[in-house]
Amino acid sequence: MPAVTLKLPEELKRRINNLAAASGKSPHAFMVDALAAQAAREEVRGAFVASALAARQEVARYGQVMEAADVHKWLLALAGGGKAARPRARKLLK
């Protein structure tokens, strides 16, 4: 594993040392875990943004949307075991 050098402010270094000791980890293991968790969060965020952009393109392509309140009402009815008509798609107003 390649070594990486980080220059940390003294206060952050102290906090990491204290938190690592409290969790029974070395400061190195604590920082590796923290960096892995942050990388995972950024990957999830990137996937979310990509999904949102794809949805935006689909709406722009077809121009059909449903009112969120109508969709929520429909989903709540279905979740409650009831029957409900699926909301109708409408033309997107520009």
Break the chain into its structural domains and give their ranges: 9-62, 64-94
- State the residue for tokens 């943004």: 49
Give per-residue pLDDT as tens, 82-93.
Answer: 888 999 988 887
CA distance 74 to 77: 5
φ, ψ of residue 70 in degrees (nearest 5)? -65, -40
pLDDT in tens, 51-79: 999 998 988 888 889 999 999 999 999 99
Q: What is the pLDDT of residue 94?
A: 62
- Prediction pTM value: 0.66
CA 15 to each of CA 23, 51, 75: distance values in angstroms, whole numbers, following the listed order: 12, 37, 46
